[in-house]
Amino acid sequence: MKMNYTIFLLIFFFNDFFSQVPKQLDWFFGDSGKVEIDIDENDYLSSIEAIDSVIYFSGYTGHYDDTILNYDAIIGRLDYQGNLDSTFNDSGYIRFDFPGDNHSSITDMDVGDSGIYFIGNSLDYGVQDTLHLFVGKIDFSGRVDTSFAESGFFTPNLGRYDVGNVISVASNEQVVFCGTSENKISLTDHPLMARLHYNGTLDTTFGTTGIRIWDSNGELADSLTSTLIAKHGSGGYLTDMVEIDDNYFFSGYYRPGSNNMCLMIMVKKNGDINLNYAGLGYRVFELSPNNDNAIVSNYYANDTLYSLINVVGTGYGNVTLFAQDTLGTQLDVTSFSLPDWILESTDMAWSPNGDIAVSSYAINDSLSASVDSDGFFIININSQGVHDANYNNDGFFLEEFDSEESGIEDLCFSNGTLFGGGFVRKMVSGNEFDFCFMKLINNPSLGIPDVSQTGIIMYPNPVSDILRIESSESNLFTFQLFNVAGERVSQNKVMSDSFELNVSEIPKGIYVITIKHLSTGIIESQKIIIE
């Protein structure tokens, strides 16, 4: 996006400031930056995607009938103010089961050019010991795309338990997904990866069938051989993936015994193991023996592959970032701990300035072990791979919701704004779970369209007393005024096409004012000099 030169200079100037000042929730979003959505008695979020001014979310929702949880898959959309978007399936969400089953959940989704692709799992209580993996697609109106696969759904139906964890719309609108398949005879779990065409049919140029599974004898489902399982036994679980040039990088954990180990696999786009990676095409390792080690998220930038690793066990609970090159050479390991807190990483997102935002459950170890998380916890890893101890002054951001418990599950950036999604637990109202979301102003000068593209005029500038704001295209807008330290010094909602802001009591200096049109969600910004 082309950006006004003045705004560009401000972005450059402000970057040093905003990592050191308190982060701010966007008060235009929901209730002062936070939103809770109650669909049914138990709502669980798996992923979010922010596209411009809207948020897509997925997971499952349901309630208990006696002791059985009846749940459905759900995908929803929030508008720029945090409300369920009624133009999306007439309700703001679509709720459904995989055809033929009566309990379904979505584990991940990705927004492509032609719609929203998702992956999930389902079961039928009437069929014992069977779990289905399914991939599907809905259009942007919130309805199942029946042209995709078979009436909108694809399932490989390979093992006794087939588990889908992650989906990604790769280059050329190819759909890549991964998970785990349990062998029907040995009852052991093995890494699964597959690729579909955009229409939901298997891409047979990925291997020979479009699906790759390692069995306990070291054989692939399409008869190609790997040494992965032969060397390390069975029990591979893939929980994340990222596209890297001509390869796919899959990761998760391997469970040889009582504890998990980190698992990484590099696969060429034809489906073959890339033996140039780590000398074998894979690596299995532990950062902390005798504790659970698992990779939860990956990101590739600047020829470096970053993996977020959970190390959980007695005396552990750190945020750990593992860095390597594309050949598998370890570059760095960054760990962050917080006194009196146990941290369990959930996701990371790449910011516009090259930093990495990392989310985590934050558990105060002085509280009961039954408490899962005490709020939305975020730290910042700078572009050099070092934890920013000045982030939000304390080195971390922690925001609680009005509930007994809350935790962040997923992060994403859009237009320079950081969004988080997770859960709130309300034991007072019957131990219910609701979806919750947060919008954080990480840097109010980023991701803003060119000034005056939407008819806003602000004058005089410089200004000493009254700043006049006029809009030729909208009579309803909000504004925020920030100083160079990133602190908000003024804000208001304007119900007409003009407004007069008295700045006479505001200290002299350089400021940035952001305008949001409530009818369109469009945001614009301008430098203001108060003299």
pLDDT along the chain (531 residues), means of 10: 35 40 70 91 94 90 79 94 94 94 93 94 76 93 96 84 90 88 68 93 92 56 35 68 94 82 92 90 86 90 90 73 93 82 88 85 62 79 79 82 85 88 80 90 42 64 86 72 79 81 88 78 77 85
Do you find a cis peptide bond into 460, omega within 30 degrees of 0?
Answer: yes
481 token code pair: 């005024």
pLDDT given for residue 366 in this prediction = 55
pLDDT given for residue 23 in this prediction = 57
Residue with tokens 């936070």: 34
pLDDT given for residue 206 in this prediction = 93
pLDDT given for residue 412 in this prediction = 93
Alpha-carbon gap, residue 298 to 108, rounded angstroms: 14
Write out 412-456 in H/E/C secondary structure. Answer: EEECCEEEEEEEEEECCCCCEEEEEEEEEECCCCCCCCCCCCCCE
Cβ(403)–Cβ(39) below 8 Å: no
Alpha-carbon gap, residue 117 to 53, rounded angstroms: 19
Cβ(162)–Cβ(182) below 8 Å: yes
Where are the domains positioned within the chain? 24-96+338-441, 101-300, 456-530
pTM (two decimals)? 0.78
Kindly list the strands in the beta sheet with 456-459, ordered across the sheet, starting from the edge strand earlier in the chain: 456-459, 466-471, 498-502
Alpha-carbon gap, residue 364 to 406, rounded angstroms: 13
501 token code pair: 């802001």
Classify 6 as helix, strand or coil.
Answer: helix
Cβ(193)–Cβ(270) below 8 Å: no
pLDDT given for residue 73 in this prediction = 97
194 token code pair: 């597959």
H/E segment holding residue 18? helix 5-18
pLDDT given for residue 38 in this prediction = 95
Alpha-carbon gap, residue 167 to 183, rounded angstroms: 22
- Cα separations in angstroms, 233 against 101, 119, 160, 187, 190: 33, 27, 19, 13, 10
Alpha-carbon gap, residue 407 to 426, rounded angstroms: 12
Alpha-carbon gap, residue 319 to 375, rounded angstroms: 16
Residue with tokens 């390979």: 158
Q: What is the CATH number of domain 456-530?
A: 2.60.40.1220
Nearest to residue 409, comparing CAs of 425, 396, 421? 421
Alpha-carbon gap, residue 221 to 202, rounded angstroms: 14
pLDDT given for residue 229 in this prediction = 36
Cβ(508)–Cβ(483) below 8 Å: no
82 token code pair: 């945090």
Cβ(298)–Cβ(278) below 8 Å: no
